[in-house]
Every structure is written in structure tokens, then in C-alpha cells.
Amino acid sequence: MADAAINSGGVPIAKCRLARVLAVLFVCVTAALALAWSHAKPMSQDEMYAFQTYSVRSVGEMVQVQRRWPISLDPLLYPLLSHAAMQIFGAGAFALRLPSLLGFLLMQVCLFFFVRKLAGERAGTVAAAFPALTATLYYATEGRPYGLLLGLYALALWCWQVATRDAEKNEQRGWALLGLTLAIAATINAHYFGVLLLVPICAAEGFRSLQRRRMDWPVVAAICVGMAGFATTVPFLKAAGAFRKNYYNAGAVGLHDISRAYRSIFVDYTQMSMRAQHLWMAALIAFAAALLWGCARAMQRRALRIPAAEWVLLLALAALPFCGYLLARFVTHSIEVRYVLGAAVAISAMLAVAIGPWLRRDGVFAAVAIALGVSIVGVNAARIQAAQCKSDERLASLVLPAQVKAALDANPDGRLYVQDMGAFEEDRYYEPDADVRKRMTLVYSAAEELRWNRHDTMALTAMHIARFTGLPAVSYEALRTRPGKHLFVLYHTGWDWTDEAFAADGARVRPVGRALGGDVAAVGF
């Protein structure tokens, strides 16, 4: 075994125990930082959709929503876990995000055990710690399935490794096969792009079968039974298909999505200038070259004795953004970079293996552990502070200025209309004034959205929301026929088509003031 080789090479058992303690410490620090980050930021638009769905009264009602009027376009696993958490901890952001946090921590634990078999316990500790330094930690604080996906990817890798190493005399093989089956089925039912897990698993097992010149039928059966979990996603996939015809990013699939995916693993590049993005891309290319060089050297080290099939597993998973691009290009016709974050699991493992030989030296390991610890705390403290400042600024904008509140009170209509779906969801939930919150009303129009934005995603979402949430919503066509002035909050973004629609309809727009992060105007038709 790899551990035995490294231990015999000069790492005493007591020092291995220290590595385990450090691994546990890194996981605990990650949990604390993720909880602090989660507390610092309000729920996002997509989280609001999830919250409205998962906080319904019963599982049966939630299943009905997901099958008939979905607004959170995911299979059923994350909704079930989040709904269960809400039954225990109450309906709120903490319960909504808890499955993601636990998924991220599961990834760290599985990475430790997976890499320990590759390059020893010290390398396992580095592999467990490294994800907390990347931008993927954000998804431990997001009430969407991506943090859970990371944990399931790592669990599948570890279970496959345990099931295939020394298969004939492996006493742990039974639970590993069961774990592999459940991990595959759960990944597919956590997100539709979770099916990409089959690429590295099948590639590795196929390579292993060629090497052995025979099939390992228990492993093949575990993979196939796990794949059968796709059947349970079909009803929800069909319901989500209503959005597919005019989805907001349909057809916007290009090779740049591959580089965007790799960049998003390490940093939030969307907040950077183009020059900074280019510099980061150059740095990532250099990092990738160094990583591959280090792994190539590790392959040549006989002391590690890493099976070739496990290298296939890691390399195929690291290439997940390429696989995601192909799936989007030829099947789904849309993709977001967060769909392929599973590559971070392989990158963390490969980095730990690449530097594994240097970690045998006590001084090097101590320096790496200290650097990781300081960097994780420092970087994430800065992220938490930035999130808190942004949250404070956003919440402060929800207090209506006197002139806007007076105009709202004086308006016979008595409503405050918002067309931007994201602004409506976030502002209405966090609005401190109950009276203003009650008056906020969502405006939607499939025809106008298609006319000006070339999609109808927001209109479909609004119509589904009205079916099961009771939130106030009105069609633009109906509002246009009502006499008098109507107060609108206008955001002038790519999501808000009201400027164009008002101009085309010859509406009279009179500015009232700034509020809720937008311009409030009295509009008459």
C-alpha cells in the first residue's frame, strides 16, 4: 500500500496521526468559515426559487410542484434534503444551505481517504484542505446542489478506489460497491449534469478491464445499478423541459466555457477586469503545466505504486469542463460553469500527489500546512468581509426614501411594481417595511420578454410562482389596460425590458426617486 511505502520511507506512525489531526482541523475550520460566510450573505435569486419550493408544507406538495410548476430546475435529491433540514431547523437560509455545506465537508473527508491511498496521509491532508482555498467554497454557502455534487463526486471516487484495489482479498469491497452505487445514483439525482460522473468512472473501469483482460462484474453491476437512478429524474426533467424552448442562455455554448469553468474553480473572475482575467488565465496555464509535470514524475515513482486506472480516473474527472462543453454543445444547448465544478476534486487530488514526495520532509510539510491554514483563513475572511459589506449596502437600499414612500402612499393603485425577477425575489423577502413588502408586485410578460430579450424564462417562472406561492403577480398586458399611474422600480439591465416596452407603448414615465437599487417612476399608459 502507498501508506506503508511512505511510512517505511521515514514518516513514523505518530507523524501520520498528526496529519490526521490536521485534516480534521482543516475540515472544522472550513465548516466554521462556510457558516460565517453563509451568515454574511442574503439568499440569491436562485436560492429564493429553491426556498419557495422546498419550504412547502409536505414532500407530496413539493413533488407536485417539481413535476408541474418547477421554478428550481433540479431533480429531487437536494429538495428532499433541504426540505428535511427545514423540518428540523425551521424554514430559513441555514436549512436551505445545509446540504451544500455537508456535501462540501464530505468532499474534504473523501479526498483525504482517497489521496491517502495514493500518496500517504500528509498528501491526503493537503488534498482535504486545498478546496477551502478555492472559489468552490462559495458553493458550501449556496442553497443549490453544487456543494452536494462536490461531495458525491469525491465519494464515488473513493468508493470506486476501495472496491477495485486488491479486489480478490478486499474485505471492504461490499460497502464500497454499495457506496459506489448510491453515489452514482445520488449524483444523477442531484443535478442533471451529474450524469457526467459516469465519464471518469466508466473510463477508469474500462481501462482497468482492458488491463485485466476481464470484466470485474460486481463493479460493473454497481455502476449500472447506479446509472438506473436516472429513471427517477425523468418526470422532473420533463417538467423542466418547458423552459428549454426559449431558455435565457440557450445556444450560448462556446469553447470559452471551458476556460471559464477552470477559472471559476479558483477565483470569481466575473469581478475582474479583462486584463486581470488574462493574467489569471496565464497563471492557470502555468499551474496546469506544473501540475501535469508533477503528476508525470509521480507516475514514475515506483514507491507510490498508483494503479494506472486511478490516473485515468483523475485525468478524466479533471477534464470535466471539456465533457460538460460537449454535453451542452450537442444535447442541452446551455451550460453554466458551476455545472462542472467536479473537476476541482481531481485537481485537489492531483496537486497533493504531485507534491507528495516533498511532503515527506517534516519542514516542508509543516510549511505547507501553515501556509494552507493561514491562506484559507485570510482569503476567506476577506471574502466574508466583502460579502458582509455588500449585504449591508443591499439591505440599506431597501429603506424607501421619504419622497418615494409618499408617492407610494398617495398612489391610488397602491402597488409597487417590479419586473426584474431577481430584484423582486430578493427585495421582497428582505424588505424591512411590512407595508412596502405587501405592496410589491411582480410584473411579467412572455411576449415582451421574447420581444426584447429573446427568451421567456422569467415569465414562465413568474407564472409558476403564481400557481403555488401566492406571491402577487400581474401580467404586463393586464396592467397596461388599467387607468391611472403605476409606480415601477426600473433597473435598466438586460433582465429588465420595461424601458423598451414603455417606449414602444408610448407610456408616460415620470421619475420619482431612487429606491431598492433602481429608479422609481410613475408610469401611465
pLDDT of residue 150: 98
Question: What pLDDT, in 10s, does the model give residues 318-360?
Answer: 999 999 999 999 998 888 999 999 999 999 999 999 999 899 9
pLDDT of residue 84: 97
Strands 508-515 and 518-524: antiparallel
Which residues, 6+ apart, have CB-to-CB distance to 347 below 8 Å?
Answer: 265, 291, 318
| Chain mean position to CA 516 | 27
Instruction: Return the half-sphere exposure (C-beta side, CA atoms, 13 A cut-off) of residue 309.
Output: 19
pLDDT of residue 271: 78
DSSP labels, 11-72? --HHHHHHHHHHHHHHHHHHHHHHHHHHHHS---HHHHHHHHHHTSS-HHHHHHHHHHS-SS
Instruction: Return the half-sphere exposure (C-beta side, CA atoms, 13 A cut-off) of residue 28.
Output: 6
Q: At what angle do helices 173-190 and 146-164 cross, to 10 degrees?
A: 150
Closest CA to 142 of 373, 338, 316: 338
pLDDT of residue 450: 93
Torsion of CA 476, 478, 483, 484, to 10 degrees: -40
pLDDT of residue 198: 97
pLDDT of residue 12: 61
**Residue showing cell 474500462:** 206
> Residue 507 in 3-state DSSP?
coil
Contact 94, 38 (CB under 8 A): yes
| Chain mean position to CA 151 | 11
Cβ-based burial of 513 (10 A; exposed 0-12, middle 13-18, buried ≥19): middle
Contact 108, 33 (CB under 8 A): no
Distances (CA, A) of 80 to 51, 59, 77, 482: 12, 7, 5, 42
> Residue 497 in 3-state DSSP?
coil
> Residue 174 in 3-state DSSP?
helix
| E-only strand ranges, 144-293 | none
Q: Among positive and negative, which fits the CA dihedral 355, 360, 364, 365?
A: positive
By 3-state DSSP, what share of the chain in percent is helix, strand and coil, each rounded to 5? 70, 5, 20
| Per-residue cell: 3 | 501508506
Residues of the chain with confidence (pLDDT) below 50: 1-10
DSSP labels, 425-489? HHHHHH-S-HHHHHHEEEEE-HHHHHHHHS--HHHHHHHHHHHHT---EEEHHHHHTS-SEEEEE
Which residues, 6+ apart, have CB-to-CB distance to 77 below 8 Å?
Answer: 145, 148, 186, 189, 190
pLDDT of residue 9: 36
Largest CA distance in the chain: 85
pLDDT of residue 2: 42
Q: What is the pTM (predicted TM-score) of this model?
A: 0.93
DSSP labels, 285-310? HHHHHHHHHHHHHHHH-TTT---HHH
| Per-residue cell: 234 | 425523468
Cβ-based burial of 231 (10 A; exposed 0-12, middle 13-18, buried ≥19): exposed
Burial 191-207 (b: 16+ CB within 10 A, else e): bbbbbbbbbbbebbbeb
Question: What pLDDT, in 10s, does the model give residues 63-79?
Answer: 999 999 999 999 999 99
How far apart, in whole angstroms, are the C-alpha atoms of residue 164 and residue 307? 10
Phi, psi of 492 (to 5 degrees): 55, 40
How far apart, in whole angstroms, are the C-alpha atoms of residue 154 and residue 103? 10
| Per-residue cell: 231 | 429513471
